[in-house]
A and B are shown apart, each in its own frame.
Chain A
Amino acid sequence: MSILVDKNTRLIVQGITGNEGLFHTTQMAAYGTNVVGGVTPGKGGEWVLDGKIPVFDSVKSAKDATDANATIIFVPARFAPDAMFEAADAGIPLIICITEGVVIHDMMRVSNYLDQKKVRLIGPNCPGLLTPGEAKVGIIPGNIAIPGNVGVVSRSGTLTYEVLYAMKNLGMGASTCVGIGGDPVNGTNFIDVLEMFEHDPQTEKVIMIGEIGGNEEEKAAEFIRTKMTKPVASFIAGQTAPPGKRMGHAGAIIEGGAGTAADKIKALEAAGVKVAKHPEEIPTLL
């Protein structure tokens, strides 16, 4: 068991013929992910990866032909909202949006629309999902993680790689790694994922990697305190970040004194979460 993606995932790639889309489709397929098709409007009928993966003009036609149950989006930011609406309307229940730089107003509309349709969105501005040994739906390097019983959830990309790598070096594997993304408005949040891990029989422990900005970590701490039985270890990035500046991620900003690393660490520790001083220390806390 794992969460969100596994061997049974039938994935399509929106933006499959673009540079990034094609590169990561190759990587995902090489990992063993079941990529059943792709979408690029105007290129329907073509094939990629030496004739192995068919390209369609729309998500609807791709779904009809392949019975896909998940989609990953690699299109540029200005087209990403439309790609998410299209996937939801085509009846795809799980959308993973890798694209960085989606306009927040667009994301508020997308997010509210998808909630009404009961469609799950991971991202945007995220590295996607990795269930080691089963499926890689995103851009997390496959070779840095091994299968295991630790659920990993994170707002970051490369920082997550750092933690997976430190885990691997200690012989510790992951059930599923979920990058929820660094944008202020995203689809799936910490609590959604923590709840899935709590109910997943394979997951025995959880690592949560947060950062400054917003109050999702504080809310997660409350959830861990009241609803979780599995142990959680954490790291919060941005302890040295100055207030009022956006630290690379659109969502990573301390506003009006709120969203600081210190507040988040305090809330997590009060909930019984062990908080690491640096990322390489996290796996040793479990």
Chain B
Amino acid sequence: MKLHEYQSKNIFSKYGIPIPKGRVATTAQEAKQIAEELGGRVVVKSQVLVGGRGKAGGVKLAKDAAEAEQLATQILGMEIKGLPVRKVLVDEASAIDQEIYFAITDDRAAKKPVMIASAAGGVDIEEVAATTPEKIIKIHIDPLLGLREYQARDVAVAIDLPRDYWREFTKIAMGLWEVYKNTDASLAEINPLVITKDKKLVALDGKMMIDDNALFRLPDLAEMRDTDEDAPAEIEARKYGLSFIKLDGDIGCMVNGAGLAMTSMDVIKLFGGEPANFLDVGGGADSKKVAAAMRIILTDPNVKAVLFNIFGGITRCDEVARGILTAMDEVKPTVPMVVRLVGTNAEEGRKLLENANMITAETLADAAKKSVEAAKKGK
């Protein structure tokens, strides 16, 4: 789960990391009021869960409250990479001397958290990593020991931070470690961490990603979820414990297991088709889940055919077949359906579907070919 900049910075602030004064607004009126309270120049920043807000014109500097109102009106009406801007953050403007990148994230290969820092902050760090990797410092943290202060100092030295700032930087690093640890973050990023003209370190922008699997123990964070970036069908799927991702093709897919679901998409493509979605009904899928999955697939008007590929292990094929029948009764689909059942109770499952007017297939390749043909006919 991604957090907005304002949410991330509020959390940083609770852990003693200095952030600019400011608040979030949903109307231009509110933005004006906040700018008046702050006085002087302010920055109006769109709050959407995508990168490149600045380049898209979603971050603007205002010299006074009137201009802040005007800019907020403009930004609140924008869409950035397809996402509507519903909130703006109004922050006091900072006079900047230097911009630093500083983050703590999971290093999945090392199985440890890692601090990443660079004196070349403020820009896209992936670009820095690609073009000038020597400018990026990485120091791993022992997950059983936690971040030690000497490691934070090592980072400060490595990015040539002037000595006067070491103490403050160490405090910020320790704070960010606590943020990362206590929120089960997969990313806690300050970009940029700035040195201001009046010689202070301030987290000007923040980004956080939280491990979805940890939300059960982070109820406050779970409530912060913004579902704007998810397709409605993805939100619906989440309710039923289905893993669903919408794609642009015309062949709907329902598969058990993530690896096999990805593979089914690949094989459809291999035989000249385009998958309309990724959908994993999960292990032990019962008929209720299967029916929900089918409804979700068929709400996409692009879908011209549906491929069911079920390899029964824990999942029983007869149970899935019952789900398909229930869903067909309910949804009354008009597109052709290709079904392949293998494994536990496959025979029983196939029998149940005998009179259901479905195209059957033996192998995955065969199933993919048949669904590609069916989709072509449906156009």
- Contact residues of A with B, CB < 8 Å? 20, 23, 77-78, 101-105, 107-109, 111-113, 127, 139-141, 144, 154-162, 165, 182, 184-185, 209, 211-212, 214-216, 219, 235, 237-242, 245, 247-252, 256-257, 261, 277-280
Contacts and interface: CB of A to CB of B under 8 A. Distances in A.
26 contacts: A20-B314, A23-B314, A103-B213, A103-B217, A104-B214, A108-B111, A139-B314, A144-B343, A155-B259, A156-B259, A158-B255, A159-B257, A162-B342, A165-B311, A184-B108, A185-B106, A214-B108, A237-B260, A238-B266, A240-B266, A248-B243, A248-B258, A248-B259, A252-B259, A278-B364, A278-B368
Nearest to A187: B111
Contact of B263 (A113, A141, A278): A278
A139 B343 CA distance: 13
Interface in B131-155: 142-144
Given A158-B260, A241-B262, A245-B245, A103 B214 contact: yes
Interface string B302-342: 00000000011110000000000000000000000000001
B243 A278 contact: no
B67 interface: no
Contacts of A248: 243, 257-259, 261-262, 278, 280
A209 B259 contact: yes
Contact of A214 (B109, B275, B314): B109
Nearest to A210: B259
A122 to B, nearest CB: 15
Contact of B265 (A111, A139, A241, A277): A241
Contacts, number: 167
Contact of A156 (B109, B260, B283, B363): B260
Contacts of B157: none
B112 interface: yes
Contacts of B108: 104, 184-185, 214, 251
A101 B275 CA distance: 26
Contacts of B144: 109, 112-113
B95 interface: no
A113 B342 CA distance: 40
Contacts of A249: 258-259
Interface residues of B, number: 52
Nearest to A281: B365
Contact of B181 (A23, A105, A209): A105
A101 B247 CA distance: 24
Nearest to A251: B108
B178 interface: no
Nearest to B265: A240
A247 B343 contact: no
B106 A104 contact: yes
A155 B259 CA distance: 8
A189 to B, nearest CB: 9
B213 A278 contact: no
Contacts of B214: 103-105
Given A77-B213, A108-B143, A157-B283, A240 B259 contact: no
B344 interface: yes
B364 A240 contact: no
Contact of B211 (A104, A157, A182): A104
B269 A185 contact: no
Contact of B262 (A141, A161, A211, A257): A211
A155 B311 CA distance: 16
Interface in B265-293: 265-270, 275, 278, 280, 283
